[in-house]
Structure 1
Amino acid sequence: EWTSAKNRIELQGLMEEKLEQFPGLLLNFSQPIATRVDELLSGVKAQLAIKLFGPDLGVLASKGQALQKVVQGIDGTRDVAMEQIEGEAQLVVRPNRQQLSRYGLAVGDVMEVVRDGLGGRVAGQIINGNERYDIYVRLAKEFRDNPQTIADLRLQSPTGAWVRLGDVADITIESGPPQVRRDDVQRRVVIQANVQGRDMGSVVADIRKAIADQVDLPPGYSVDIGGQFENQQRAQKRLMIVVPLSIGLIALILYFAFHSVGQALLILVNLPLAMIGGIFALFLSGQYLSVPSSIGFITLFGVAVLNGVVMVEAINMRLESGREAVASAIYEGAISRLRPVLMTAIVAALGLIPMILSNGGGSEIQRPLATVIVGGLVTSTFLTLFVLPALFGWFSKGKIADMR
């Protein structure tokens, strides 16, 4: 049970308020599995990853901060933060070539002292059964724990003179990047963000427009938006192929079932009628067209076609008997199928109502799918009972002539 908040969003706000006083923290509120999926998609633990590519880390840092401010100003974005690309303490040894030439030393001599003295050199191996471990020898900790002691290290010149390392090189502790990240061999910095209260597509569109208007990127720098949005775009491209292919297969099956192009097209008239209800239901509920809702449309098309098949088959059976006029057969066939069509739609709609009312984990996927199906069933069923019988005679002229 919730003890300090009524729901997850309110608890998230309280946690954010307590944690934002600690500088340097990147706050991101998500679910365990969702976090893993987001990290696999884009390398960051957030829904959106705005990636800035470019050659210079300094420019990436300054432009990245500008992008972060722009994204924070977009309605619907939460937990906006830029990954850390500076602030790591690093020991930097810069050889002074002029001083080195005075003593006849090379840069490699300085680097060798630093490499062997600080990093260590392999002096042998320890064998433990089938396992082998290298033995590294390096300077004791008190001779390498600060720049001053490192500067006191000695190296010998070709003339035999001993020279302090600090006399031929500048040794400092500087702030640098903890890690240089790349995508497609290009350096990049990521601004991560979550989306709340709006659909991801419109948020990304606003982000792109704001970046184009407010951020001036130098030549050689570019912005790419990944994460769940990138995965959503890939899924929608697949659906652009799957949905027309599904409708084409349905039309082919209908033609083989009724041996009439007109009646196959008549049943397919149910599809735009069903889409009207699905789109209107999304609009009334304040939801948006997404991958789950697109899958809902595919399911809705199947139910709508089923209702049309039931209606057309009932009318055809009466016409084949030859005992009734065309108008009477259409009317009686529609009346006889009223109850089965209504029962199919009502049962399906009642079964999906709990998904529409859900607000727990996974509801962001269930609700759009169920909303589309229920809304589409309302208009599809109503219009199937009235529009389809009214258009039957016009679409079935050839079929009626063959049966007569």
Structure 2
Amino acid sequence: LTLIVSLVIMALTFTSAKLLGTEFLPQLNEGALWVTAQLPMSTSLESSVSTTNKMRHILGSFPEVKQTLSQVGRTNDGTDPKGFFNVQIQVDLYPKDDWKRNITQEELIAQMDKKLSQFPGIIFNYSQPIIDNVAEAVAGVPASMAVKIFGSDFKVLDHKADDVMRVLKKIQGVEDLGILRNLGQPEFRIELDQSKMALYGVTTADANAVIEMAIGGKAATTLYQGERKFDIRIRYQKDSRDTEEKIENLMVPTLNGSKIAIKEIAEITKLTGPAFIYRDNNQRYIAVKFSVRGRDLGSTIAEAQQKVNRAVKLDQGYSFTWNGEFENQIRASNTLANVVPICLLVIFLILFMTFGNMKDAILVILNVPFALIGGILALHITNTNFSISAGIGFIALFGVCIQNGVILISVFRKNLLEGVQIDQAILTGVISRVRPVVMTALMAAIGLMPAAISTGIGSETQKPLAIVVIGGLITSTILTLLLLPIIYKMVYNLIHKRENRKLLRKLGA
């Protein structure tokens, strides 16, 4: 009966493991926030500084905020080609124990975002200083997660990004949603008409030279000052090129010596062109960036991928990828899936060499599920997501529960070799080994208890490991002492019945 109940509990626990949330690593608390704001691309320096000061004033009004530090333009390392539209604000927070309001960091971010949303047309992203650098290096964009849509046509990319964003808006847990657009630079485009140029006798070189000299200036000679040299550029006076009409009326020389206005030989339009061209593996892309808060990463991305794949159809030559922390989670999960079987195989080989037979080695390996039960239940009880830290905790559990199994199996074998009857051998073995088995578990559990209940900065990564190990030790210790003797006796009786049948067959022959 005990064995049946335990097997039912084991089956239910393993089934409930599918309900656990998943993530790469728990979110660290660095004691500061990193707020990134992307203003319209044509924003001037003066406007950007003014808006930044207003945002800093709003952020500084929260009682949990100690101070703010802002930066406008490109980053300090100079690796990102950012314009004045890029604003980064570091928000230093008071220690959590000094907060006057009983709110979480996620709730604080939600309140900040609600107040900052009064600025129209600005895309915000909330992270932490160290995590932001790591996430940007992984995702390739200033966000923890991004959907990159690859293709050649900017307008198609822009349209598909809007479609993806509409889908992601409806998914619970998706925050800081925004599009890192390529388009956004106002352009005054002059496209020369070759047929009209031929009609009026205008060469392409003459037309380009006039446009270049009028708007950008043309280098006529070079000025040398010591080892330095400077181009001397000839350019039209500002009052001859400061309006669209004046540029349209620029006069271009023809082959017969007359002049004609540029508007007569070119199509002049105003449009919004690309301000930045983002590339990955030499392919153009547009990114839809977002963060995940208030929900586990694994289920959020799974739902997002399912709905985006169903709702957004891409033409031939276009594709999208999911980048960011989710990639790390997938890689780490695949690594764990390879490492765990190898660990169990190595343990089994060591046990086989120790005991000299497969029966005892397999019986010891059967202790592993006992530990998994407690680890999974501990994650459920503490509402902790399964992460790589928790996965390493499960691997650590293997060693402890295997050790307990070896202790019991060894004493059972010793008693049987001394001629003790099976029931008595098991009973005296369990009684004599309760203390070392329990002490081993208690030592590990007590040692990891501070890590499991700590709340300091950086404790988030070690808590899942400690929780899994402590929970697994509890069930592993109890079930090892209760179930392993029962299983050992069943296997012992089964083997001896087979041996007796073989002996009777031989005698009968």
Using the size of structure 2 for normalisation, the TM-score is 0.71
Distance 1:95 1:387, change over 3 A: same
> Which structure 1 segments of 5+ residues have no match?
none
For residue 264 of structure 2, what is the aligned residue in structure 1? Answer: 167
For residue 121 of structure 1, what is the aligned residue in structure 2? Answer: 219
For residue 335 of structure 1, what is the aligned residue in structure 2? Answer: 431
For residue 178 of structure 2, what is the aligned residue in structure 1? Answer: 81
Equivalence map 1:200-239=2 (5 Å): 200-239=297-336
Task: Give the distance between the partners of 1:281 and 1:127, measured in 2 at CA.
Answer: 75
Q: Deviations over 1:67-93 (max 9, x none)?
A: 112111101111111113322122311
For residue 381 of structure 1, what is the aligned residue in structure 2? Answer: 477
> Which structure 2 segments of 5+ residues have no match?
1-97, 500-509
Q: Deviations over 1:275-305 (max 9, x none)?
A: 1222222233333333222222111112211
For residue 468 of structure 2, what is the aligned residue in structure 1? Answer: 372
Mean Cα deviation higher: 324-333 or 270-279: 324-333
Task: Give the distance between the partners of 1:48 and 1:309, measured in 2 at CA.
Answer: 46
Mean Cα deviation higher: 311-320 or 21-30: 311-320
Q: Deviations over 1:223-278 (max 9, x none)?
A: 32111111111111111111111111111111222222211111110112211222
Distance 1:279 1:174, change over 3 A: same
Distance 1:351 1:113, change over 3 A: farther
Distance 1:332 1:115, change over 3 A: farther
Task: Give the distance between the partners of 2:232 and 2:168, measured in 1 at CA.
Answer: 49
Q: 2:235 aligns with which of 139, 158, 162?
A: 139
Distance 1:271 1:125, change over 3 A: farther
Mean Cα deviation higher: 328-337 or 357-366: 357-366
Equivalence map 1:191-340=2 (5 Å): 191-320=288-417, 322=418, 324-340=420-436
Q: Deviations over 1:201-220 (max 9, x none)?
A: 11111112222343344444
Distance 1:359 1:209, change over 3 A: farther
Distance 1:392 1:99, change over 3 A: same
User: How many residue pairs were aligned?
Assistant: 397
Question: Residue 348 of structure 1: CA displacement?
Answer: 2.0
Report the AA paired with residue 350 of structure 1.
Answer: I
Whether contact under 8 Å (1:147, 1:171) holds in the other structure is no
Whether contact under 8 Å (2:202, 2:252) holds in the other structure is no
For residue 284 of structure 2, what is the aligned residue in structure 1? Answer: 187
Distance 1:364 1:46, change over 3 A: farther
Mean Cα deviation higher: 201-210 or 50-59: 50-59
Distance 1:377 1:97, change over 3 A: same
Task: Give the distance between the partners of 1:141 and 1:371, measured in 2 at CA.
Answer: 74
Task: Give the distance between the partners of 2:246 and 2:355, measured in 1 at CA.
Answer: 93
Task: Give the distance between the partners of 2:205 and 2:270, measured in 1 at CA.
Answer: 21
Whether contact under 8 Å (1:4, 1:11) holds in the other structure is no
For residue 155 of structure 2, what is the aligned residue in structure 1? Answer: 58
State the SS of the aligned residue for 2:300: helix
State the SS of the aligned residue for 1:337: helix
Task: Give the distance between the partners of 1:249 and 1:145, measured in 2 at CA.
Answer: 78
Question: Residue 136 of structure 1: CA displacement?
Answer: 5.3
State the SS of the aligned residue for 2:222: strand
Distance 1:136 1:350, change over 3 A: farther
Note the aligned Cα RMSD (angstroms): 2.8
Percent identical pairs in the alignment equals 36
Task: Give the distance between the partners of 1:79 and 1:97, measured in 2 at CA.
Answer: 48
Task: Give the distance between the partners of 1:257 and 1:141, measured in 2 at CA.
Answer: 93
Question: Residue 128 of structure 1: CA displacement?
Answer: 5.2
Whether contact under 8 Å (2:106, 2:294) holds in the other structure is no
Report the AA paired with residue 34 of structure 1.
Answer: I
Whether contact under 8 Å (1:5, 1:11) holds in the other structure is no
Q: Deviations over 1:75-134 (max 9, x none)?
A: 1111111113322122311113333122222334433433455164373374655xx555
Mean Cα deviation higher: 285-294 or 134-143: 134-143
Question: Is 1:69 the equivalent of 2:149?
Answer: no
Whether contact under 8 Å (1:263, 1:396) holds in the other structure is no
Q: Deviations over 1:344-400 (max 9, x none)?
A: 22232233334333455445533332232222112111111122222234556889x
